[in-house]
Amino acid sequence: MIRLSDCAAIRLSADTQIRAFDCGENDLNDFLLNAAKIHTQDLLSVTLLFEYGNTTVAFYSVCNDNISLDSFRDKTAFDIFRSLFPKPKRFKSFPAVKLARLGVHSTYQSAGIGTQILDYIKMSFTTRNKTGCRYVTVDAYNNERTLRFYQRNGFDFLTAKDDKRDTRLMYFDLKRFAHAS
């Protein structure tokens, strides 16, 4: 079984040769092979590749995000969310990093690589973060396997208003991870 630590972590650039990759999701494959470099060049996201031998084992892309009133179905739900913070810290939006894409090569799926990547991201934004970042958000594919994966890794649904859409907005509170580490 391969571990993330066995892989070379490579930040995608215009010159990066992307090795063989197929995660079984056409949208994710297409992003990595055709759009990730453009997003990098346009400063829209940062993509990390995890390579082992001649294969891209996994990749993820992140970009800036926030959780604000627009993320909720109504002001009451947002006020409940904000009430978790002391009054002086009840901002109109809260800083987050969006996990824009996460793909694991089909050969390496169900081996813990995805969880290792989530832990890697959580660690990056709690120990080496260069700006304030309280949450990790993700627009998770609205299927049982994907939603269960994120829930097992501590993500919660932000709202119920998207339960019939193709993706569900989920979040992870990095403060929980920082205190657990």
Residue with the bigger pLDDT between 86 and 181: it is 86
For 47, the domain range is 4-180
* One-letter identity of residue 31: F
Task: Quick: pLDDT tens for 147-178.
Answer: 999 999 999 998 888 889 999 999 999 988 87
Query: Which of 177, 115, 169 has its CA nearest to residue 142?
Result: 169
- CATH number at 39 reads 3.40.630.30
Q: Tell me how many domains the chain contains.
A: 1
Residue with the bigger pLDDT between 66 and 87: it is 66
Given a contact cutoff of 8 angstroms between Cβ atoms, the answer to whether 158 and 137 are in contact is yes
Residues with Cβ < 8 Å from 167, sequence gap 6 or more?
A: 139, 140, 141, 142
Task: Give 89's pLDDT tier (boundaries 50, 70, 90).
Answer: low
**With 90 as the cut, is the pLDDT of residue 88 above it?**
no
Given a contact cutoff of 8 angstroms between Cβ atoms, the answer to whether 166 and 142 are in contact is yes
